[in-house]
Structure 1
Amino acid sequence: MSDKKHTHTHQLQQASRETRHEWYGKTITLASVVGIIILVVAIIYFIGQRGLAAFTTDHVKVTDFLFSADWNPLDGKQYVGAAAMIVTSFLVMILATLLAVPFALALGIFMTEFAKNRLTKYLQIMIELLAGIPSVVYGFLGVTIIVPAIRTVFGGAGFGILAGILVLFVMVLPTITSLTIDALKGVPAQYRQASLALGATWWQTTSKVILRAATPGILTAIIFGMARAFGEALAVQMVIGNAVLMPHNLISPAATLTSQLTSQLGNTVNGTLANNALWSLALFLLLMSLAFNLVVRIIGKRKG
């Protein structure tokens, strides 16, 4: 009787301990979620408040900001046209992504459908290493290798849009490749087996069945790569030339939104038009980031 009572008491104590642990876990999880929500709201509020100051306090027109290429936001001169930087940012992002997508698809298909396990393992390690290299290293390699090569082939200073595209191509390639591999691996094995059983070749199965089934995941990978390219600052700043000019060719110096922010924000005084204009660039970048996330969610819903 005493043993049964002791066992029952032990079970109650164990249940009580498990209940406490579960409560602690739920509390920590809830606190983390609330903290993340507060942090995101605070970032949006802070950037939104500072970014709108140029339009509310300094009375800059939104149309001038978006469509004018005159950028000289000194006190008393409301030349706050960001069109040149917006066009350059989109141009560099789109061309770098278009250059990276075929390589990412080829690597993803090869690693998931044709390569042996050992080779796939080595390639995966290389992709992870490329993804983990700091931006400043890519920028340094761009300055020491890509810029002199462009100068030799095309002439000029070598700094410009083409250098930024090539640097971003190498930077976004691991991101798009990794997510593409995950999308291809997510295709059910039954699809492959059914296609092969019907007499299709491996390439027909890959191109007609697997790629089509993995299209939503591949599109998500491309959007994440575009977001990575659009938001990159340091590496692009080191090779693009940082001249706020409307791009006329790929070897002319230019400036993106991020390169202008990183190079000029520390040289302005809080509350001035020059500082508020730079925060307006940051607000535009934030809105573009939200747009990229919205597109990813739409693609995810279509996939579901």
Structure 2
Amino acid sequence: MEQIKDTQPTRSTKRNQERFGKTISLIATLLIVLVVLSILFFVLSRGLRTFTQHDVSVLDFFAGTEWRPGETDDAGNALVGALPMIVGSFVVTLLSALLATPVSIGAAVFMTEVSPKAGKKILQPAIELLVGIPSVVYGFIGLTVVVPFVRQLVGGTGFGMLAGTLVLFVMILPTTTSMAVDALNAVPRHYREASFAMGGTRWQTIYRVVLRAAMPGLLTAIVFGMARAFGEALAVQMVIGNAPVLPDSFTTPASTLTSILTMNMGNTVFGTLENDVLWSLASILLVMSLVFNIVTRWIGKKGAIKG
């Protein structure tokens, strides 16, 4: 009886601690959900004011090519066409992803399959260093190195989507490479051993077995890299030229959603059309972030099902 009495307070204390831990976890989860919903509501509500309060046509906003907030055309319609910024964002994102994907996968294959020791000693520290470099440093290097290089290579001012693509390529390279390494390392060792047992060479094993087994993880790495490229602001703003017009080539000044936001958000009055259209651009960025997350989760579920 005495032993039972001695254990009851201990069990009660553990039960109370467990209940307290669950309560704290629930509060933290609800707080995170509340913050996310609040951000979604605030950004989207401000962005929709462009169409509900200022009577801007949705078609004119997404398909228009004139970006001069505060001015109107002959018919009295506000010149707030966001198509140049939307095109600029998607073009530099896709081009940087196309450049980074083969380099990232090649580096990941070298680090995991060809020379793991050299990869851990040399490439891994270099990648970790690149991840920690601030965006403004990338932008400054792009301004002093990439822009003059593009100017000498193809002429013009050097500012444009080509310079922005090269800067973003370097910025997303460590992210995609790190995730690609994790994806390749996650492939079970017996996959490789089975391929070697059937007479496959090392490169046949890498191409036909390892890369195919790691494909969901590799696609996730590419999507994450595109998400970072799409949302990057400062570095792109410093090298793209910030001209809100549809570019006629990769070497003419252009703009992205983020570059226009960073340039103009502090120079507008809250509640005016000039301010609300910037929130509309921010809403596009927010929606695209959600799309990237949904695509990533879909890829993960497909990989889990196949595995």
Q: Which TM bucket (shorter chain)? A: over 0.9
User: Are 2:259 and 1:259 aligned?
Assistant: yes
Is the 1:75–1:274 Cα contact (8 Å) retained in structure 2? no
What's 1:41 paired with?
Answer: 37
Query: How much has 1:166 moved relative to structure 2?
Result: 0.6
Deviation sequence 1:124-164 (CA, Å, 0-9, x none): 22111111111111011111111121122222221111110
d(CA) in 2 for partners of 1:75 and 1:157? 28
What's 2:80 paired with?
Answer: 80
Query: How much has 1:225 moved relative to structure 2?
Result: 0.6
Q: Secondary structure at the match of 1:252?
A: coil
What's 1:235 paired with?
Answer: 235
C-alpha RMSD over aligned residues: 1.4
Q: Secondary structure at the match of 1:79?
A: strand
What's 1:25 paired with?
Answer: 21
In the TM superposition, 1:141-152 aligns within 5 A as 141-152=141-152
In the TM superposition, 1:36-115 aligns within 5 A as 36-74=32-70, 78-115=78-115
Q: Secondary structure at the match of 1:73?
A: strand
What's 2:272 paired with?
Answer: 272
d(CA) in 2 for partners of 1:10 and 1:107? 61
Query: How much has 1:123 moved relative to structure 2?
Result: 1.7
Which amino acid is 2:44 matched to?
Answer: G
Is the 1:161–1:253 Cα contact (8 Å) retained in structure 2? yes
In the TM superposition, 1:157-236 aligns within 5 A as 157-236=157-236
TM-score (norm 1): 0.95
Is the 2:110–2:116 Cα contact (8 Å) retained in structure 1? no
d(CA) in 1 for partners of 2:268 and 2:46? 14
User: What fraction of aligned residue pairs are identical, expressed as a percent?
Assistant: 53
In the TM superposition, 1:283-302 aligns within 5 A as 283-302=283-302
User: Which runs of no fewer than 5 residues in structure 2 stay unpaired?
Assistant: none
Distance 1:112 1:10, change over 3 A: farther
Which amino acid is 2:156 matched to?
Answer: G
Which amino acid is 1:220 matched to?
Answer: T
> What is the count of residue pairs matched by the alignment?
300
